[in-house]
Amino acid sequence: MNQPFSGFSKLSKEEKINWIAATYFTTPEEAVALLKKYWNSDAKIQKLHDEFIENTITNFYIPLGVAPNFLINGKYSTIPMAIEESSVVAAASKAAKFWSTRGGFKATVIDTEKIGQVHFTYKGDVSKLELFFAQIKSTFFTDTENITTNMQKRGGGILDIELRDKTNLMENYFQLHATFDTKDSMGANFINSCLEQFANTLKREAQQFDLFSETEKNIQVVMSILSNYVPNCIVRAEVSCPIEDLEEKHIPNPISFAERFVQAVKIAEIEPYRAVTHNKGIMNGVDAVVIATGNDFRAVEAGVHAYASKSGQYSSLSHAKIENGFFTFWLEIPLALGTVGGLTSLHPLVKLSLEMLENPSAEELMQFVAVAGLAQNFAALRSLTTSGIQEGHMKMHLNNILNQFDATEEERHQVKNHFKHHVVSHSGVVNFIESLRQ
């Protein structure tokens, strides 16, 4: 295609597929057949998926797995995880089983405050703007009553609104910085609706404020939008046990293991290059549960990584210590999640995942997600500080390599037997398959 296509969005799904196939593929009929193969046979479910986003042509599947044996705050749970990366679910399950006999995971929600801002410019006397804000602050609450009534009935709503002077960063730049509690809803639509009304109220009231000059009345709203940085919407997950209880087949010397483990975490605390990979491992667990429960993993990722940089240097989200003969490993992360609204009541597998978790509140879901992240991190660090991470990862990756080469059942059997006693590598597996086929 060497020119824009006008009116693509107005085409039917079939027409979109046919155009894409004819324009970009040397064998259009194969492309069409592949796209249709991934349609859901239930027309009602397929229509539902088609309407989640725009210009849909098919469904893109990733596996939904489960990690059992999570003992969290004294209760066993099985956690759903949607992810395509080999070994993530296995690692989480292994960590869950390990800690189930050592007291399990403890999880606590520290706070649930969410944030939104109205960004605006004002040219004039700052003291007059501060007086103006103080006089009209209650009006922001009054003007949003039609939006906040139902949320208030559930115990949530607008917590506070502040005027923030940002002129040291940019000329004439100010904010209305608002905090919210959205209970079991993630709250994006609720917060943004409130913020847009704040903006309207700000501009309207400025026109009527007698102390403002004509220039000062001309407040310019740049934008009104929630923030995905939620440093006061925090959950803590923790595991702890006497050092000697860490002993198992792969940890014959628990004191040495605990010391290396703590050192590995401290390296991630002080070395950004390591911290990024360290935190990525945490997010393997976090994102998998966030996706499975229909939440916005991009928002979670952005907020979590900003939080990891709050000191001015990117650092580990998790921490470990040895104290009075006890090993303790924990993390605190910001998670703005919802169990009502969005996909939670629409996507059949999201509803199934939430039911598997016994229909948690948003705070309970925060705890499940944080625990999954901590379990994933523990599993990775245990491997890194003992046998190394590649042995287990490559064994899990073996199936992907076999699938790439359409291995037969007999070939699979021979390959797996061979690599029980040899290091798994992509080239090693390929060479062995080729030797079998010769």
Taking a C-beta distance cutoff of 8 angstroms, is the pair 362, 184 a contact?
Answer: yes
Q: Which of 280, 321, 395, 418 is catalytic?
A: 280
Of 287, 296, 364, 397, which residue is the catalytic one? 296
Let me know: does 65 contact 93? Beta carbons within 8 Å.
no
Write down the pLDDT at residue 2: 65
AA letter at 46: Q
User: Which uninterrupted H or E stretch holds 396?
Assistant: helix 389-404
Tokens of 242: 């006497």
* 39, HSE (Cβ side, Cα atoms, 13 Å): 18
**pLDDT value of residue 3:** 77
Task: Tell me, yes or no, if 393 is annotated catalytic.
Answer: yes
Task: Write the CB contacts of 66 (distance below 8 Å, at least 6 apart in sequence).
Answer: 78, 79, 80, 81, 89, 356
**Catalytic-labelled residue, pool 85, 271, 301, 332:** 85
Nearest residue to 383 (alpha-carbon basis) of 48, 92, 40: 92
Residue 327 parent element (H or E): strand 326-334
Contact (CB, 8 A) for 368 and 79: yes
Instruction: For residue 144, report the phi and psi dihedrals to the nearest 5 degrees.
Output: -105, 10
Q: Which residue has the tokens 């509690």?
A: 181
pLDDT in tens, the chain (438 residues): 667 888 999 999 999 999 999 999 999 999 999 999 999 999 999 999 999 999 999 999 999 999 999 999 999 999 999 999 989 999 999 999 999 999 999 999 999 999 999 999 999 999 999 999 999 999 999 999 999 999 999 999 999 999 999 999 999 999 999 999 999 999 999 999 999 999 999 999 999 999 999 999 999 999 999 999 999 999 999 999 999 999 998 899 999 999 999 999 999 999 999 999 999 999 999 999 999 999 999 999 999 999 999 999 999 999 999 999 999 999 999 999 999 988 888 999 999 999 999 999 999 999 999 999 999 999 999 999 986 655 555 666 677 788 888 888 888 888 888 887 777 777 888 888 888 888
pLDDT value for 395: 61
Tokens read off for 90: 């296995």
For each of the domains in the chain, give its residue range(s) and CATH number, in order of start: 8-50 (no CATH), 64-111+231-387 (3.90.770.10), 114-227 (3.30.70.420), 392-437 (no CATH)
Tokens of 215: 């220039």
Which of 114, 217, 393, 397 is labelled catalytic? 393
Q: Which residues contact 363 (CB under 8 A, 6 or more apart)?
A: 109, 112, 235
Longest CA–CA span in the chain (Å) reads 91
Taking alpha carbons only, the member of 72, 89, 83 closest to residue 292 is 83
What sign has the CA pseudo-torsion 73, 78, 82, 87?
positive
Is there a catalytic annotation at residue 296? Answer: yes
CA angle, 64 as apex, 428 and 69 as ends, to 5°? 95
Q: Is 165 tagged catalytic?
A: no
397 annotated active-site: no
The torsion angles phi and psi of 233, rounded to 5 degrees, stand at -120, 75
What is the DSSP-derived secondary structure letter of residue 310?
T
**Residue 307, token pair as written in the block:** 């939080």
Q: How many CA atoms lie within 13 A of 325 on its CB side?
A: 3
